[in-house]
Amino acid sequence: MVKSDALQVHLKSLNSAASLKPLYIFSGDEPLLMMEAMDQLRATAKKMGYTDREVLLQERGFDWTALLSAGQTMSLFGDKRWVELRIPTGKPGRDGADALKQFSAQIESQPVGPEGPDTIFCIILPKLDGKIKTSAWFTALDEAGMAIQLDSLDRSQLPQWIAGRLKKQGQEVQSGPEGQRALAFIAEQVEGNLIAAHQEIQKLGLLHPAGVLTEEQIRSAILKVARYNVFELTEAMLAGDLPRLNRMLDGLK
């Protein structure tokens, strides 16, 4: 099992579909980080022809033969496929454990040609405890593919994470104690919730152009509910600020 940094290295090294693994396993308890990591991988796979997507959800009465047969069934239109299996509890049960071991053996026995695997499987699990990590079924999955553990952030890491997200949209806080106070203020307001932090960061991108944000601007934006109208959209359009316009439209959905 590897950390999220290893996934980034893997994605950057991909130069063809043959570099993709037939199986990826994601585990973690932070929804935003899980979603973004899977979206990154799915977007990369889609560019390489994996356009047909199927989602399986393990719930009561789930038929595990659906997973076993998915790897042996070709897409109706011959497209490469992306198949997700979501196991919300992280506990497949006895039948599921046996099926996952059989599925792992099935994956390992399939040759991968220069065009990559016909199907990429992605198994999504919650945060796993030590017992599950050492279980036979999870060990088999890990050996057959690439298992990625997405750890949630400590509260102490959140200000730096927020700064990094601001940088990605072309913004930054003031240098010195003012900027540190502003980052700490955002972190306190979202109370460790990364989805809430993500939304507040997007809000700052809607309200202010790229550049340095003052502590006052940040406090004002976080404490008030932003409302956008057609005039603000027009202003962004006339300024030719397409990234800000796209973020604004996303915020209005």
Closest CA to 103 of 148, 59, 58: 58
The single residue listed with the structure tokens 């719930």 is 59
CA 91 to chain centre: 22
Given strand 23-28, what is the order of strands in its sheet? 2-3, 146-150, 23-28, 119-125, 80-86, 50-57
* Measured distance CA(51)–CA(53) in Å, rounded: 6
CB neighbours of 251 closer than 8 A, spacing ≥ 6?
A: 202, 203, 206, 226, 228
Residue ranges and CATH numbers for the domains of the chain are 2-150 (3.40.50.300), 155-252 (1.10.8.60)
CB atoms within 10 A of CB 70: 16
CA distance 187 to 194: 9
One DSSP character per residue, the chain reads -EEHHHHHHHHHH--SGGGS-SEEEEEES-HHHHHHHHHHHHHHHHHTTEEEEEEEE--TT--THHHHHHTT---TT--EEEEEEE-TTS--HHHHHHHHHHHHHHHHHS---TT--SEEEEEEE-PPPHHHHTSHHHHHHHHHSEEEEEPPPPGGGHHHHHHHHHHHTTEEEPSSHHHHHHHHHHHHHHTT-HHHHHHHHHHHHHHS-SEEEPHHHHHHHHHS-----HHHHHHHHHTT-HHHHHHHHHHH-
Token match 């990625």: residue? Answer: 148
Q: Which pTM does this prediction carry?
A: 0.80
DSSP string, 1-23: -EEHHHHHHHHHH--SGGGS-SE
In tens digits, the chain (253 residues) has pLDDT values of 888 888 888 888 887 777 889 999 999 999 999 999 999 999 999 999 999 999 999 999 999 999 999 867 655 556 789 999 999 999 999 999 999 999 999 999 987 777 888 899 999 999 999 999 999 999 999 999 999 999 988 889 999 999 999 999 999 999 999 999 999 999 988 888 899 899 999 999 999 999 999 999 999 888 754 444 555 667 777 777 777 667 666 655 5
